[in-house]
Amino acid sequence: MKQLLSRYHFTPGGLTISIGLLVLVTLTSRYSYLLFHSLVELFSVVTAIGIFILTLNSQRFLKNNYILIVGLSSLFIGLIDMLHMLAYKGMGVFSGFDANLPTQLWIAARYLQVAVLLAAPFLLRFNFRPTFLLICFSTITTSLLASIFVWNIFPDCYLEGTGLTHFKITSEYVIVFTLAISSILLFRLRRIFETGIFGLLIFSTTLFGFSEIAFTSYMSVYGNGNLIGHVLRVISFYALYRAIIVTGLVTPFDLIFRELQQSKMAILDYNTQLESRIKLRTEELTTTNRLLQQEIVDRKKAQQKTVRRVSQLKALRAIDIAISKSFDLKHTLSVVLEHVNSELTIDASAILLFERESGTLKYFTGKGFKTNLIKSTVIHLEQDYANNSSACSDFFTNKKMHIRPQFSKDKLCYEEKFSSCFQAPLISKGNFQGILELYSFTEKQTNKEWYNFLEALAGQTAIAIDNATLFTDLESTNRDLTRAYEVTMEGWVKALDLRDRETEGHTQRVAGITTQLALTMGIPQKDIINVRRGALLHDIGKIGIPDSILNKPGPLDEHEWKIMRQHPVHAYRMLAPIKYLGNAVQIPYCHHERWDSSGYPQGLKKNEIPLPARIFAVVDVWDALCSDRPYRSAMNEDAVLAFIRDQSGKHFDPQVVRSFLHLYPLIRTPV
């Protein structure tokens, strides 16, 4: 059940609350149908405006024109529905009109709504500017309202004593038929939507159609058909709201950070595979040791061979441990060469790595050499060997080389006094990684067991190289992604500064000073990055604040302040679900809390307020007072410092104020 709800972006608690509220609103119809109607219509209007605001503020993230068109049209549909609510029988807002007026407004709003749903699928391939769409919707809405209030040409929809007119009933069926066509078109476009969002859109459209059918059957504006139609309409609008908010806000952030999550999952998957390989090898070693112990009892003469086998297995185990504990290729291969020299009784060994771009083998590390000649080794491979792992294996394996005039390493062997050399290819997953070279001062006597163990060591060496290369590539990818996310975050901040011009440059300044002050107050270095991110994103919640309030040239009134004080909550809802920014949410959420609990949005006091938020609050107020605003000039430095001292123990944490004043000589006055 939880998985089903999650697919459609619901939680059990949220769904329960929504159903409870719907039942409660429906029950109000028993007390006052006018109250019920007003609540239902008010919900629809608020929902429509909410959808419009979310769509408008997140339109730069949207890649789906269907959502953009439907979301922007919601404002105008909501406007007509609001007039319908005010004109409803018993409201007394429009004098001189009877029940025909609200019914006309209702039909006008529904025609506009189904027209948008029908047209949206055909307009997906066009890139409309939001301004153009707003002008079009404004023109259509104005024409509809003028036909009712000014020109009086809109057909009658309800006659007192008679009921619904033929035009009204026919219109409802036309609307239902249009909705059916819209649903078919939407179904054909289902691939462009996430499964849950598509389901919500279809569900909303279907309920919309049933509600319209219900509105064809009532004789009185207070009738049961009207009641059922309004209940279905509430559910339809709620489903549409869920679809828009998920697409407009949640999904873009999920997409931005999806690659980082995939990279993390790749590392976790790799670690799981590595642990499984070690576990499997450990089980093999346990079995082999048990067999060796039995062999010691049965065959005294095989004791030396058994000891050698155990030593080899321990060497493989040690190499396994080195591979699993470290991704430092130099260190791991150093462990490999130690066991190569000791277990194969070789005097010196080296590993040459293959560079595919140049088609050459170059020295990487070695043990047992007296000179540095091996470090200059470069071997050019023929193309067939460079691209064919089996050819490489045939070319290198068991190839015994002695000093002779044409031997490519005559000088090395002469200077080091080597008599024989062996080479084994390093191949992992079919990819040629390089070669393992072994040198001996004497003519080395070998057998099948010796070559088998050399092959096993070469295999382990190739795995180590492959693992280290994979990890290095993953680390590099993660660094690139992390930098990309940091740049993206800074881009958000710059975009917010451009939108809120009165604070332009404010974010970068306070982020730098907050970081300095946090270090001074003992916040660990590992947490400073989250302090900086939180400071940069402290006003990200203002994305949800209308421009009319955010850029108002004068002081805000009480209602506007109420809306403005919601921006920390908007920031929390945006950032908390993002794991990458989860530890940085303290400042955006709590930087307007006050030491004496008079702040917002939670009314925290004293040490209930996170320390990073307490630090930022002092820096934020200091910078704001030292900066010019459209409605006031910057205060002088002494007045600002006096204000901060005065607010110690009221607005600010006294300890933070003391640390800030101590650090102040090192802070550059904002420009």
List alpha helices for 190-302, DSSP H. Answer: 195-214, 224-245, 251-256, 258-298
What six digits make up the tokens of 366?
């070695």
Kindly tell me the number of DSSP H helices and DSSP E strands found in the chain.
26, 8
Both 62 and 168 in one domain: the answer is yes
270 is a domain residue: yes
List alpha helices for 405-505, DSSP H. Answer: 410-416, 448-499
Both 234 and 279 in one domain: the answer is no
More confident residue, 335 or 407: 335
Both 299 and 360 in one domain: the answer is yes
pLDDT at 151 over 80: yes
Both 321 and 412 in one domain: the answer is yes
The answer to whether 319 touches 460, Cβ cutoff 8 Å, is yes
More confident residue, 577 or 430: 577
Both 231 and 214 in one domain: the answer is yes
452 is a domain residue: yes
Tell me how far apart the alpha carbons of residues 340 and 440 are, in angstroms, rounded to a whole number: 12
Indicate the range of 136-150, 183-197, 552-566 predicted with least confidence.
183-197
Q: Which of 199, 230, 254 is the last residue of a domain?
A: 254
540 is a domain residue: yes
- Residue 159 main-chain phi, psi, to 5 deg: -120, 125
Domain of residue 577, CATH code:
1.10.3210.10
CA distances from 209 to 25, 166, 179 (A): 21, 19, 6
72 is a domain residue: yes
Both 220 and 309 in one domain: the answer is no
Q: What is the mean pLDDT of residues 314-322?
A: 67
514 is a domain residue: yes
Both 419 and 332 in one domain: the answer is yes
Domain that holds residue 302: 261-473
Q: What is the mean pLDDT of residues 392-406?
A: 38
Burial of 163 (0-12, 13-18, 19+ CB in 10 A): middle
What pLDDT sits at residue 260? 44
Q: Assign 337 a pLDDT band (cuts: 50, 70, 90).
A: confident
Q: Which of 438, 473, 508 is the last residue of a domain?
A: 473
pLDDT at 192 over 90: no
Both 383 and 400 in one domain: the answer is yes
pLDDT at 137 over 80: yes
**pTM given for the model:** 0.38
Structurally, the chain folds into a number of domains equal to: 3
40 is a domain residue: yes
Q: What is the mean pLDDT of residues 643-652?
A: 92
Domain of residue 67, CATH code:
1.20.1070
CA distances from 390 to 79, 378, 432 (A): 75, 22, 9
DSSP class of residue 632? B
Indicate the range of 201-205, 332-336, 385-389 predicted with least confidence.
385-389
Give the pLDDT confidence of 431-482 residue by residue, as tens digits. Answer: 787 888 888 887 777 777 778 878 887 877 777 777 777 766 666 666 656 6
Both 248 and 316 in one domain: the answer is no
Both 215 and 317 in one domain: the answer is no
What pLDDT sits at residue 609? 93
Tell me how far apart the alpha carbons of residues 114 and 116 are, in angstroms, rounded to a whole number: 5
DSSP class of residue 652? B
What pLDDT sits at residue 647? 92
Both 160 and 237 in one domain: the answer is yes
Q: Which of 235, 254, 273 is the last residue of a domain?
A: 254
Domain of residue 316, CATH code:
3.30.450.40
495 is a domain residue: no
Q: Assign 288 a pLDDT band (cuts: 50, 70, 90).
A: confident
Q: What is the mean pLDDT of residues 497-525?
A: 79
483 is a domain residue: no
Both 211 and 308 in one domain: the answer is no
437's CB contacts (< 8 A; 6+ apart) are 349, 350, 351, 352, 421, 422, 423
DSSP class of residue 540? G
The answer to whether 85 touches 37, Cβ cutoff 8 Å, is yes
Q: What is the mean pLDDT of residues 384-388?
A: 43
